[in-house]
Amino acid sequence: MAERERAIVLVSGGLDSAVVLALARARGLACHALSFDYGQRHRAEVRAAGRVATSLGAASHRVVRIDLRAIGGSALTADIAVPRARRAGAGGIGSRAKRARGASAIPVTYVPARNMVFLSLAAGLAEVVGAGSVWIGVNAVDYSGYPDCRPAFIRAMQRAIGAGTKAGVEGGGGGIRIETPLIRMSKAAIIRAGSAAGVDFGLTHSCYDPSPRGLACGRCESCAIRSRGFEEAGVADPTRYVSRRG
């Protein structure tokens, strides 16, 4: 039997990356899951990443440690308060948040250079294991305004990986592809796709400010986007929240 094509899938432990892993597996790929313990305050997601990788049959799962707290500059890696979500109004959560902040505002939960570092290391691992693609769950619809989740950033990273890797330079034009299957999808559409692909969302973790027991706070923007996504998708939300009050 022919060996399956290999892929690197960035698995954070969150909802989006779980769906990406399920979609890559459904494509018939041998998926090598890659997670990062980068000093984030919500490290419950690292444990969730292991659960997701096992549940969805990843061929392997690596956790790479990086100390982004040494850089700081984010509510996720420094002693900066995680903001509460603004109350829901009309329209999608991502668009509401952007209108409330202004179209170009970037929230304090943005982690400087995070996806740039993650994709660079994922491309390196792809070369080592012979993977032809790197899959990442970035999203430019129901998202929090991060510049490293936008199509322009992905295009730039694709060019950099093509120019800066052996696979890109000697690969005969193939190189390592960045796959972003969720980038144009709403959170509700992502949840529906994950449900169809058999994702157990109860294994995932999205909260920016979980309790010591790992329960979701129910107050941060990530919790709000997740909760509203389940509501709009018509899928039961399995998340265990400390609070659902705004």
pLDDT digits (tens, 9 = 90+) for 185-238: 999 999 999 999 999 999 999 999 888 888 899 999 999 999 999 999 999 999
Residue 243 lies in a domain: no
Which residues span the domain enclosing 211?
6-233
Residue 238 lies in a domain: no
HSE-CB for 115 with a 13 A CA cutoff: 23
Could you tell me the CATH number of the domain that includes residue 91? 3.40.50.620
What is the pLDDT at residue 101? Answer: 40
Q: How would you label 98-126 residue by residue, b for 16+ Cβ within 10 Å and e otherwise?
A: beeeeeeeebebbbeebbebbbbbbbbbb
Amino acid present at 58: A
CA distances (Å), origin 163, targets 149, 157, 159, 173: 21, 10, 6, 11
Instruction: Supply φ then ψ for residue 98, to 5 degrees.
Output: -70, -40
pTM of the model: 0.90
What is the pLDDT at residue 211? Answer: 87
Amino acid present at 136: I
Beta strands, E only, the chain: 6-10, 30-37, 60-65, 133-135, 177-179
Residue 218 lies in a domain: yes
**Rounded to the nearest 5 degrees, what angle is found at the Cα of 214, between the Cα atoms of 186 and 67?**
85
What is the pLDDT at residue 62? Answer: 98
Reduced to 3 states (helix: H, G, I; strand: E, B; else coil), residue 9 is strand
Domain count, the chain: 1
Residue 239 lies in a domain: no
Task: Quickly count: other Cβ atoms within 10 Å of residue 158's Cβ.
Answer: 19
Residue 65 lies in a domain: yes
Mean pLDDT of 14-28: 97
Tokens of 235: 């899928």
Residue 44 lies in a domain: yes
Residue 69 lies in a domain: yes
Residue 119 lies in a domain: yes
